[in-house]
Chains A and B, each alone.
Chain A
Amino acid sequence: MRRARTLELPGAAAISGLAFLVGYAWPLAAILLRSVNGVAGRDGLGADALRSALTDGRLGRVAGFTVGQAVVSTALCLAIGVPVGWVLARLRFPGDRIAAVIVVAPFVLPTLAVATSLLALVGGLPASRSGRFVLIVVAHVVFNVGVVARATINGVAQVDRSLIESASIAGRSPAAVWWSVSRPLVARRLAPAVLIVFVFCLTSFGVVVALGGAGLTTVEVEIWSAATQTLDLSRASVLAGLQLLLVIALVVVGQRLAVPTVAGTGTLRRRPRGIEWGAVAAVVAVVAVLGALPVGVLVARSVSLGEGAWGLDAYRSLAVAGSRSARAATGSDGLGPVVIRSIVAAVFATAATMVVALAVASVASGANRSARWVERLAILPLATSSVTLGLGALIGFGTWGIDLRGTPMLVVLGQTAVAVPVAVGIVLPAARSLDPSLRDAAATLGAHRRRRVGGLALPLMRRSLSTAAMFAFALSMGDFGATVILARGDAATLPIVIGRLAGRPGPESVRLASAASVVLVLACIGPGLTSSWRDLHSRRCAHGVVGADRSATVGCGRRESGHRRRRRSGGGVGRWIR
């Protein structure tokens, strides 16, 4: 049966289609088309290029390293994230809500800022490959452990108290109840989150570029290097295609694993007893390290002048391009124009992202087959590396009649393509959980569509929309992969400036990179922090269900009617993040 959309936006299908073509399909097609003929004397894409890319022996090593570091990173995220999430979900202690917010905070930190903070912590790029490998894994854990912790919290919240009670009444020991009831329920909830963390680690770019040094590359970095350094577009196409196929396969598996969202009974949380206080202390320690360390190290390194001296020299130097390193990184006008440029681009990208995300969510909020397809297509760019998206935009909008190269529009386009899938993942579940009976009632009472959307649907989705906008802004602001390819050399954004500084040895570069990272972190998470804080204070009504699936919750009171409680929620990332 064809169901009407719960979110009725005019022109949604047209906007979604156009966005997919312009931001994704055409750029990817353009890379393929351009590589067919070869560039600057390089061989074109053909059987030979395919064979040499697949059989030169490097691919195996690079792919091996790529998968290996992703497996290790994901395993560590699980090992740390699950216990942390479990404690936060089951025990009530002072500061638990703040801890639940802080634990995911690193996820919105720009990759280069975290990489810089690790470099600052160990005093520069380690010479050994194993040292660099460890740094890459640590950075990935810092980013993603919160995603696992959140999913665990959500999973535990889904475990119905009555199940546990009945199992206990049946005489099972607490351990047996945990093993036979809670564990499988949480594991099913966790599987998609693990998958998404794995994909993030697999396609991570900024971290590996900054911390991998020479010779330690992933497929993603290899695509960038082939495209921008050796100008081997055929190789870049082949690798991008392979990576796309692998990630699509993973996303499909992930959608199969997605389980129905059930409104949990919540409030299984209680005060810790005896030894449990030890677990709480450990969690607080982990959360404090995750939340405070990256930014703390950056702040400390940016003001430390060595030998116990402190000062704001690095910030001053960046502001006025006062030293050679600073000038080389920011250009002769200093950091001011860079910050303004970054914010303006991110604001435009956020606006574009929200328009597209709303349109996609509207089309996909109908529960028919085409809605399912729209949702899948919207997630595709997540499966495509930001480097590939950027390269595609540069080639696709640089020839064949349309030439946007050198315009800021191209940067906005690239950042939008990077941010849309994440925003859709947050907005779509909210759109789906809108109650159709409310819409129908409003229509019966004579409200026109505009009124039903503007006066009813959007206000109900307000919280998800602001979360999505915050994520879109942070992602656009912090994007390195697409922006580094699309921005003009004299129109660098903050992450590009950090990338330039992080690539230079010496204490001054580390200090400047740290200072620029502090500025970037402030710009990125400023809006997020404000909204989390507001959230924290307005969540009293959520009755202690820390991290209940916020995006699927309409407002504060849960107005979900019985038959809608078992609805499949979207397969987007939003659920795993929030």
Chain B
Amino acid sequence: MLVACGPAAACGSNDPDDGAGATGHPTLTLVTYDSFVLDDTVKALVESKLGIRLKVVQRGDAAAALSTAVLTAGKPEGDVFFGVDNTLLSRALAADVFVESKVEVPDSVVASLRLDSTGRLVPIDTAPVCVNYDRDWFDEHDLAPPTSMDSLADPAYRGLLAIESPVTSSPGLVFLLGVASALGADADAFWASLAANDVAVAGSWDDAWNAMYTVNGGDRPLVLSYASSPPAEVFYSEGALSEPRSGVIESTCITQVEFAGVLRGSSHPALAARLVQEMLGADWQAALPLTNFVFPARSDAAIPEEFSSFATVPANPIRLDPATVASTRDRLVDRWRTVME
């Protein structure tokens, strides 16, 4: 087992199991979901600081990545896992996938993000999941965009909304649980009328945003995405847009929190914990807005203006209660599939 490995130290190059690369640095593997983007500069910084080579393994959508981690628990595909969100937290904890990592969570991470009291999963970022709308489309059609969760099922918006499936997409699951939390007993009726209102269900966020949304050539001017989608639009337009074409319907926003943890069975648990600690470091946190379009968990992290000027910070987002999520999630998904598929 490798315990201490200072920066630039040639670590355990005699041990074939330590994954030492040609440089003599051990390789740490970060397992995550497909759409995660690691900033190259931050990667290099962390690698030299920890004396490691950092490899990223992407394992499908967030739910599939976690399922793989559960099925390979104890003999993981990497050392650190990033991408358990507040909807799947209880599943990850119940399956005994992670070990306690003794990572120090800075005070600037607000209490509402610290959802695991066992010290295994550490909050890294947060992003409100919200319905976005195509501003131009609604202008051209002389229609006011919906103003509440309920109104999405209004016949005036028939055939206009695209959401992601809660089975295969994490914003989809956040939305399902958010609807349940906001509408309570009326949630079932809401889904039934959404189905009657011809909602389109995409398999992934990519599919919904890039293929179904009118802004990107699809035929749905309402799409379930993030509060940070408008700044992402401007950023990716590389100068073509000076302001976003999408607006955010604030009353539909639901808080999503993403966590990282050290996988049980990692051959470098101490280094892995240091990597998680780095994910809460200033560099990693500051790069998150413009690479993954999420808000850093640390409220004192520097947020680039390109992000802050167009990102919506919902005043009063729907918050998911962890205990309710744990006890209702699987049942809600099963019921959703019965109604919607």
Q: Is B158 an interface residue (CB 8 A)?
A: no
Contact of B55 among A227, A328, A490 (CB under 8 A): A490
- Set of chain B residues within 8 Å of A506, measured between Cβ atoms: 210
Q: Is B182 an interface residue (CB 8 A)?
A: no
Q: Is A124 an interface residue (CB 8 A)?
A: yes
Contact of A39 among B29, B95, B202, B206 (CB under 8 A): B95
Would you call A39 and B70 a contact (CB within 8 A)? Answer: yes
Complex alpha-carbon distance, A468 and B218, angstroms: 47
Q: If the complex has contacts A58-B338, A214-B203, A490-B77, are A228 and B57 also in contact, measured as CB distance less than 8 A?
A: no
Would you call B206 and A228 a contact (CB within 8 A)? Answer: no
Complex alpha-carbon distance, A300 and B210, angstroms: 24
Would you call B72 and A406 a contact (CB within 8 A)? Answer: yes
Stretch from A12-20, A352-360, A440-448, A497-505 forming part of the interface with B: A497-505
Question: Which chain B residue shows the least CB distance to A331?
Answer: B57
Would you call B94 and A41 a contact (CB within 8 A)? Answer: yes
- Set of chain B residues within 8 Å of A394, measured between Cβ atoms: 71-72
Q: Is B101 an interface residue (CB 8 A)?
A: no
Question: Which chain A residue shows the least CB distance to B201?
Answer: A214
Would you call A56 and B334 a contact (CB within 8 A)? Answer: yes
Would you call A40 and B94 a contact (CB within 8 A)? Answer: yes
Would you call A230 and B333 a contact (CB within 8 A)? Answer: yes
Q: Is B204 an interface residue (CB 8 A)?
A: yes
Chain A 90-129 residues near chain B, CB threshold 8 A: 124-125, 127
Contact of B64 among A213, A228, A395, A505 (CB under 8 A): A228
- Set of chain B residues within 8 Å of A125, measured between Cβ atoms: 207, 211
Least Cβ–Cβ distance between B146 and chain A, in angstroms: 21
Least Cβ–Cβ distance between A387 and chain B, in angstroms: 13
Give the interface centre of A217, A331, A504 by most chain B CB atoms within 10 Å: A504
- Set of chain B residues within 8 Å of A230, measured between Cβ atoms: 63, 67, 167, 330, 333
Would you call B203 and A490 a contact (CB within 8 A)? Answer: no
Would you call B71 and A488 a contact (CB within 8 A)? Answer: no
Chain B 26-66 residues near chain A, CB threshold 8 A: 29, 31, 34, 37, 55, 57-61, 63-64
Q: Is B340 an interface residue (CB 8 A)?
A: yes
Least Cβ–Cβ distance between B216 and chain A, in angstroms: 9
Chain A 30-61 residues near chain B, CB threshold 8 A: 39-42, 52, 56-58, 61
Chain A 394-430 residues near chain B, CB threshold 8 A: 394-395, 398, 403, 405-406
Would you call A398 and B333 a contact (CB within 8 A)? Answer: no
Q: Is A225 an interface residue (CB 8 A)?
A: yes
Chain A 348-395 residues near chain B, CB threshold 8 A: 394-395
Q: Is A232 an interface residue (CB 8 A)?
A: yes
Question: Which chain A residue shows the least CB distance to B29?
Answer: A490
- Set of chain B residues within 8 Å of A336, measured between Cβ atoms: none
Q: Is B75 an interface residue (CB 8 A)?
A: yes
Would you call B338 and A214 a contact (CB within 8 A)? Answer: no
Would you call A505 and B340 a contact (CB within 8 A)? Answer: no
Complex alpha-carbon distance, A464 and B73, angstroms: 43
Q: Is B341 an interface residue (CB 8 A)?
A: yes
Complex alpha-carbon distance, A215 and B333, angstroms: 13
Would you call A503 and B204 a contact (CB within 8 A)? Answer: yes
Complex alpha-carbon distance, A229 and B69, angstroms: 11
Q: If the complex has contacts A124-B211, A225-B167, A506-B210, are A489 and B58 also in contact, measured as CB distance less than 8 A?
A: yes
Would you call A127 and B212 a contact (CB within 8 A)? Answer: yes
Chain B 57-111 residues near chain A, CB threshold 8 A: 57-61, 63-64, 67-68, 70-72, 74-75, 77-78, 90-92, 94-95
A/B pair count, beta carbons within 8 Å: 112
Q: If the complex has contacts A52-B334, A57-B338, A228-B67, are A403 and B55 also in contact, measured as CB distance less than 8 A?
A: no
Least Cβ–Cβ distance between A329 and chain B, in angstroms: 9
- Set of chain A residues within 8 Å of B90, measured between Cβ atoms: 41
Q: Is the interface on chain A under 10, 10 to 19, 20 to 34, or 35 or more residues?
A: 35 or more
- Set of chain B residues within 8 Å of A489, measured between Cβ atoms: 31, 57-59, 68, 77-78
Complex alpha-carbon distance, A418 and B200, angstroms: 36
Complex alpha-carbon distance, A52 and B218, angstroms: 37
Q: Is A167 an interface residue (CB 8 A)?
A: no
Complex alpha-carbon distance, A127 and B159, angstroms: 13
- Set of chain A residues within 8 Å of B312, measured between Cβ atoms: none
- Set of chain A residues within 8 Å of B37, measured between Cβ atoms: 324
Digitize A117-154: 1 where CB-to-B-CB distance is under 8 Å, 0 elsewhere.
00000001101000000000000000000000000000
Complex alpha-carbon distance, A490 and B203, angstroms: 23
Q: Is B165 an interface residue (CB 8 A)?
A: yes
- Set of chain A residues within 8 Å of B71, measured between Cβ atoms: 228, 394-395, 398
Complex alpha-carbon distance, A214 and B164, angstroms: 9
Give the interface centre of A42, A215, A227, A332 by most chain B CB atoms within 10 Å: A215
Least Cβ–Cβ distance between B208 and chain A, in angstroms: 9
Least Cβ–Cβ distance between A390 and chain B, in angstroms: 11
Would you call A504 and B206 a contact (CB within 8 A)? Answer: yes
Complex alpha-carbon distance, A40 and B70, angstroms: 8
Chain A 294-335 residues near chain B, CB threshold 8 A: 324, 328, 331-332
Question: Which chain A residue shows the least CB distance to B330?
Answer: A42
Would you call B58 and A403 a contact (CB within 8 A)? Answer: no
Least Cβ–Cβ distance between A230 and chain B, in angstroms: 6
Contact of B77 among A324, A398, A488 (CB under 8 A): A488
Digitize A201-241: 1 where CB-to-B-CB distance is under 8 Å, 0 elsewhere.
00000000000011101000000010111111000000000
Contact of A398 among B31, B61, B72 (CB under 8 A): B72
Would you call A229 and B203 a contact (CB within 8 A)? Answer: no
Q: If the complex has contacts A58-B341, A214-B165, are A231 and B70 also in contact, measured as CB distance less than 8 A?
A: yes
Complex alpha-carbon distance, A332 and B204, angstroms: 23
Give the interface centre of A214, A232, A328, A406 by most chain B CB atoms within 10 Å: A214
Q: Is B326 an interface residue (CB 8 A)?
A: yes
Q: Is B219 an interface residue (CB 8 A)?
A: yes
Contact of B330 among A215, A225, A232 (CB under 8 A): A232
- Set of chain A residues within 8 Å of B78, measured between Cβ atoms: 489
Q: If the complex has contacts A41-B94, A229-B64, A504-B206, are A215 and B165 also in contact, measured as CB distance less than 8 A?
A: yes
Least Cβ–Cβ distance between A107 and chain B, in angstroms: 28
Question: Which chain A residue shows the least CB distance to B163?
Answer: A214
Would you call A40 and B91 a contact (CB within 8 A)? Answer: yes
Q: Is B168 an interface residue (CB 8 A)?
A: yes
Complex alpha-carbon distance, A229 and B64, angstroms: 5
Question: Which chain B residue shows the least CB distance to A391?
Answer: B71
Q: If the complex has contacts A41-B90, A229-B64, are A406 and B75 also in contact, measured as CB distance less than 8 A?
A: yes
Q: If the complex has contacts A230-B167, A230-B330, A231-B91, are A403 and B75 also in contact, measured as CB distance less than 8 A?
A: yes
Complex alpha-carbon distance, A61 and B338, angstroms: 9
Complex alpha-carbon distance, A405 and B55, angstroms: 19
Least Cβ–Cβ distance between A35 and chain B, in angstroms: 12
Would you call A41 and B91 a contact (CB within 8 A)? Answer: yes
Complex alpha-carbon distance, A42 and B334, angstroms: 12
Chain B 218-255 residues near chain A, CB threshold 8 A: 218-219
- Set of chain A residues within 8 Å of B333, measured between Cβ atoms: 230
Would you call B91 and A213 a contact (CB within 8 A)? Answer: no
Chain B 242-300 residues near chain A, CB threshold 8 A: none
The 4 closest A-B pairs by CB, nearest first: A40-B95, A214-B203, A41-B94, A489-B57
B residues apposed to A, CB below 8 Å: 29, 31, 34, 37, 55, 57-61, 63-64, 67-68, 70-72, 74-75, 77-78, 90-92, 94-95, 164-165, 167-168, 200-204, 206-207, 210-212, 218-219, 326, 330, 333-334, 337-338, 340-341
* Interface contacts beyond A214-B167, A215-B201, A230-B63: sample of 16 additional A-B pairs, CB < 8 Å, sorted by A: A39-B70, A41-B330, A42-B330, A52-B334, A56-B338, A127-B200, A127-B218, A230-B330, A230-B333, A398-B72, A398-B75, A405-B72, A406-B75, A490-B55, A503-B203, A503-B206
Q: List 25 A-B contacts (CB under 8 A).
A: A41-B95, A56-B334, A58-B337, A58-B341, A124-B211, A127-B219, A213-B203, A213-B207, A214-B164, A214-B167, A225-B167, A228-B60, A229-B64, A229-B67, A229-B168, A230-B67, A231-B67, A394-B72, A398-B75, A405-B75, A406-B72, A489-B31, A489-B77, A505-B211, A506-B210
A residues apposed to B, CB below 8 Å: 39-42, 52, 56-58, 61, 124-125, 127, 213-215, 217, 225, 227-232, 324, 328, 331-332, 394-395, 398, 403, 405-406, 488-490, 500, 503-506
